[in-house]
Amino acid sequence: MMRYVIVPSALLILLILISASTNYGASARTEMVKVMTESNQIGNPIWTLGKPDDSDLEFGKESAAPISYTVSSGEQQQETWSSVPQGLNKSLNPTLSINYALAEIPEYGVHFRVKILDAHKSVPQMAVFSNNLLSGIIQIAGVGGTTSAYEYKKLYELYIPKEQLQLGNNVLKLSAEGCLSCKADENKFLWWKWDYLSLDALAAPAEEPIHGRYVESGTKVSNLSFYYDQGAVRHLPYVLKWLGIAYSGNVMRVDCATDVKEGCSAIKPYYETLRDYNTQAVALHLHTGNIKLNDDGTLPADAENKLSDYVKQYGSMFQYYEIDNEPGLFNRSKSVNLAIAKWLKTNLPELAPHVKTVAPGWAYAPPYSMRTCRNQNTSGMLRCGDPDGWESDPNQRMELEEMTDLTNGHAYGTSYVNNKDGSFLENMRTFGGAEDGLQKLMLNTEYGTSDSHKDPVEYGAAEPHAAVFDRIMRAHIGYADMFMQHAAFYPEYALFEPGIDLNTQNPAQMQIHKNSSEEDTRVGVMRRLNLAYATHGKPLVYEISNKPELSDKLVYFRGVDTSTLPALPGSGGKSDKILLNFVNFESSPQTIQVKVTMPEAAIYEGERFGAGDTYESARSYLSGLQADPELNFKETLGPGEAVQYILSRADGVRKVAPTWIQAKPAQHHAIELSWKESEVAQSYDILRKSGGSESSYEVIAEQVQGTEFVDTSTVIGNQYEYQIKLSGTNEVSQPASATATDSVALDRKDWEVTSSSGKPQGAIDGNIYSRWDTGVAQAPGQFYQVDMKTPTTINRIRLRSEGSPNDYPRKYEVYVSTDGYTWSQPIATGSGSSILDINFSPTYARFVKIIQTMKAGNYWSIHDLQIYG
């Protein structure tokens, strides 16, 4: 008898251990499947259509109509199923309804399986309805429409709860579905062929509501692209929760590299935050571009020490280590990659035995003659890696695959199905095809779309920017095991508005990045798919209350108890949250009413995340939810909208004071306060004192919503100290203080900057490690100009160049203008220094120009420019 397994995070780790053999052929995959079947969840078979023989010849041909098939009592002995099609095609036979009878309802629900032999590269979706209610949507990967020499075959699985079954006649309907905003143009591409289909009773309660495949999702949260600093730590919980990643054992990339100065300044609290939100980490630390191997091919002592120190310090906090990032594209050495993999294979069993290694994030860069690559040296030898083009050769990639536990492969736009350099097709070239998915578990450390990517025109998407991101993420659900969107704040590819120093932004004001007028966004897509496929735990019993309204509608509910998930390897991360997810895959608003059986009869409370362009507008807090043990919910979801509740028992919720309190002077002598939310807070009280330590705090505001407050009742020159109190409790934050002033740093968000040469944006990007420079020695007439867009009164300019301490202006003059044409006489002149404060009388201006007036051998550089007023 076939047996069933639901694969929680710990079992995935076990599977990775088993797959770490150097044999990645069928035997390794068979061994993995053998382990998966030992959980013994499947009971009696209900029906099987077809034979598991990797052939569809026993089925009939497609017919241009929906098909209904009734399972007979002698189904198991059949040799042919001529009235069952070989698959579905939305343009010809879009649905198959399978009628079958149940003399009794299986106590623990049923398990549906379908083995796919081939499908179109467009990622067709198989919606599965049990008695007209959506049980799930299987995302199907395939190579149809490509020139791949290899087939991708995959067994997909789906949990169907007993509440969707009935005594007597039942109907399981399979339907071919397209993208959310796509038109009928896409229909002809939405096809697949199958080997067999089966339905079995579960013999024990399911441990996971398996939805096609068990997948884990994530992204990367770093400040100014590369910095794991306090700003990144502050934003991390907000991103994890808003995207639906938190608490389920999902995975995030953490690439704090040795070549980025101060790149790892807050890496310990960063890893601790991931642990606290039950999230795994993929580490990448050692910069490979400047490593010269020893004569025997081993890592030099400096590289070994850096790697060893990092693993010793933080190895207990991450679960995976990635060998390198796009080594061919960045002109890296295969030998260095192999040496790192060998060192990890030798030393991890002692230093961090739970950590698994991940092949480099392949970009499949061809030889330099076919495509230029970065980081060329001065020798004149142009190449994409050493040896040139090695990353594009599956045989050379296999050398790394044989040394690592998981495979990798980066993808953008629709590149994953490119006939050359497509991560999906290239992995099949490496491993010689896929009999039941890829022969190694795949952890993809970068996928995504840029602001310029659009869905292929032949699919007819009304919202092509959102559709192409939706398609690439669904593709990874179809063939990858773990996958991470490129980066939450990276320009062009961002989920949230990029280009902001996270050390200065209140995370609650984090805003969704929109690159077009489309309604759907990358955040909207990611939330929808994360909530449907990447929240894990023991499924909760539920019943849809408005069944007639949701008949044959693509509206999905997923409720899980995360306390059943095993602790994360190494960090020991755990969760006790109840996650309730409501997802609308329809292009029209839908209302869903659900009665959920909670784990215990108790009062629950927690967060709700729904529609909203900012974190603060998307989040709300609910309390007093009395479960007996059922709870009733009603959600009206917009097109493509997803809502998540993150709940805990009220008597187990710890009231915690707000943290990360910041107080800073603002214009008109006000003081701006911001703080990291207390997850249990519904409102806050603001306490203030002035006049030194002898004075006492007074309440200046009560029941404040949100995590910001502006105190305008201040006097210039006075220092004020503040605390934030959780309303209705005695929980009070640590203090923060600021002095009221009439000179504060102005907001640079809308500034436009120009200069005599170079790239002026580097001086106002908030990154003290980037800069603007002249590119040549200092000479009279070089200038840097700011258009503040709005005229305002200013009184000070600060130029910082400590990162290039000898590049300060030897002599300078400052001019201002209100229109950019008529300029003042110099309002300030002087000699420079690496931290240069230029003070002058209050002046009304829109434009500010700083002119360098003396010769010197150094460049003139500005790492940071700020204007005060």
> pLDDT tens digits for 141-159?
999 999 999 999 999 999 9
Q: Which residues make up the CATH 2.60.40.1500 domain(s) of the chain?
A: 538-652
Give CA separation, 275 vs 250, 317, 579, 677, in Å: 11, 7, 18, 18
**What integer pLDDT is reported at residue 427 of this predicted model?**
95
> Which whole-number Å values give the CA distances from 201 to 37, 104, 209, in the listed order?
15, 11, 14
Q: Where in the chain is the domain with CATH 3.20.20.80?
A: 216-533
**Phi and psi dihedrals of 424, rounded to 5?**
-65, -50
The helix or strand, by DSSP H or E, that contains position 470, with its residue range, turns out to be helix 464-479
CATH code of the domain occupying 216-533? 3.20.20.80
What is the C-alpha to C-alpha distance for residues 758 and 783, in angstroms, rounded to an integer?
11
Q: What's the pLDDT score for residue 464? A: 97
Q: What is the band of 4 on the pLDDT scale with cuts at 50, 70, 90?
A: very low
CB atoms within 10 A of CB 857: 8
Torsion 736-740-745-750 (CA) sign? positive
Mean pLDDT of 378-387: 85
Nearest CA to 715 among 733, 752, 743, 740?
740
Q: Where does CATH 2.60.120.260 sit in the chain?
A: 41-212, 752-868
pLDDT grade for 5, boundaries at 50, 70 and 90: very low
Return the SS3 of 169. Answer: strand
**What is the pLDDT averaged over residues 298-326?**
97
Q: CB under 8 Å to 378, separation ≥6 — which residues? A: none
Residue 614 token pair: 């900012």
The pLDDT value given to residue 76: 64
The helix/strand/coil state of 391 is helix
Q: Report helix, strand or coil for 774.
A: coil
- Give the model confidence (pLDDT) of 190-204 as tens digits: 999 999 999 999 999
Where would I find the beta strands (DSSP E) of 6-164?
Answer: 42-50, 59-60, 67-70, 81-85, 87-89, 95-102, 110-119, 125-130, 133-139, 154-160
* Cβ atoms 249, 207 nearer than 8 A: no
- Write out the residue limits of the CATH 2.60.40.10 domain(s) in the chain: 659-739
Sequence-separated (6 or more) residues with CB below 8 Å from residue 477: 139, 212, 213, 215, 529, 533
Assign 36 a pLDDT band (cuts: 50, 70, 90).
Answer: very low
Average pLDDT of the chain?
91
Q: If you average pLDDT over residues 48-71, what whole number do you get?
A: 89
Confidence of residue 381 (pLDDT cuts 50, 70, 90): confident
Counting Cα atoms < 13 Å in the Cβ hemisphere of 184 gives 3
What confidence tens digit (pLDDT) does each residue in 516-562 have? 889 999 999 999 999 999 999 999 999 999 999 999 999 999 999 99
Report the pLDDT averaged over residues 33-51.
68
- Does the pLDDT value for residue 78 go beyond 90? no
Residues 659-739, CATH architecture: Sandwich (2.60)
Q: What is the pLDDT of residue 75?
A: 65
State pLDDT tens for residues 770-808: 899 999 999 999 999 999 999 999 999 999 998 898 999
pLDDT band at 108 (very low <50, low <70, confident <90, very high): very high
Give the three-class secondary structure for 15. Answer: helix
Q: Which residues of 421-460 are buried (b: 16+ CB within 10 A; e: fewer)?
A: bbbbbbbbbbbebbbbbbbbbbbbbbbbbbeebbbbeebb
| pLDDT surpassing 80 at residue 825 | yes
For residue range 725-762, list pLDDT tens digits in order: 999 999 999 999 999 998 888 989 899 999 999 999 99
- CA dist 502 → 230, 233, 750 (Å): 8, 9, 17
Judge residue 352's burial from the number of C-beta atoms within 10 Å of its C-beta, 0-12 exposed, 13-18 middle, 19 or more buried.
buried
Mean pLDDT, rounded, for 494-517: 91
What is the reported pLDDT for 830?
96
Question: In DSSP terms, which residues pair with 559 in a beta bridge?
Answer: 580
Q: Is the pLDDT of residue 849 over 70?
A: yes
Query: Highest mean pLDDT range out of 454-458, 668-672, 726-730, 743-747?
Result: 454-458
Q: Is the pLDDT of residue 32 over 60?
A: no
Tokens of 751: 């500034």
Indicate if the pLDDT at residue 35 is higher than 60. Answer: no
Among 28-37, 122-131, 391-400, 713-722, which stretch is predicted with the lowest mean pLDDT?
Answer: 28-37
CA–CA gap between residue 710 and residue 815 (Å, rounded): 33
Per-residue confidence (pLDDT) for residue 802, from 0 to 100: 86
Given a cut of 50, is residue 380 above it in pLDDT?
Answer: yes
- Say how many C-beta atoms besides its own lie within 10 A of residue 182's C-beta: 24
Fold of 752-868: Jelly Rolls (2.60.120)
Residue 490 — pLDDT band, cuts 50, 70, 90?
very high
Residues 6+ apart with CB under 8 A from 139: 123, 125, 212, 474, 475, 477, 478, 533
How far apart CA 283 and CA 313 sit, in angstroms, is: 13
> Is 647 in contact with 625 (CB distance < 8 Å)?
yes
Q: What integer pLDDT is reported at residue 77 of this predicted model?
A: 67
Can the peptide bond before residue 209 be classed as cis, meaning omega within 30 degrees of 0? no
Grade residue 654 by pLDDT with cuts at 50, 70 and 90. Answer: confident
pLDDT the model gives residue 374:
79
Please name the amino acid found at residue 297.
Answer: G
Two tokens at 820? 């950019």
Query: 596 vs 84, 495, 561, CA distance in Å?
Result: 36, 32, 12
In CATH, the number for domain 538-652 is 2.60.40.1500
Task: Annotate 69-88 with three-state secondary structure.
Answer: EECCCCHHHCCCEEEEECEE
232-236, 389-393, 687-691: which has the minimum mean pLDDT? 687-691
pLDDT at 838: 96
Residue 769: predicted pLDDT: 76
pLDDT at 3: 30
Instruction: Give the pLDDT mean for 111-128.
Output: 98
Instruction: Assess contact for 317 and 274: CB atoms under 8 A.
Output: yes
DSSP 475-529: HHHHH-SEEEES-TT-TTT-SB--S--TTTS-GGG-BB---SS-S--HHHHHHHH
CATH of domain 41-212: 2.60.120.260
- Tens digits of per-residue pLDDT, 247-280? 999 999 999 988 887 889 999 999 999 999 999 9
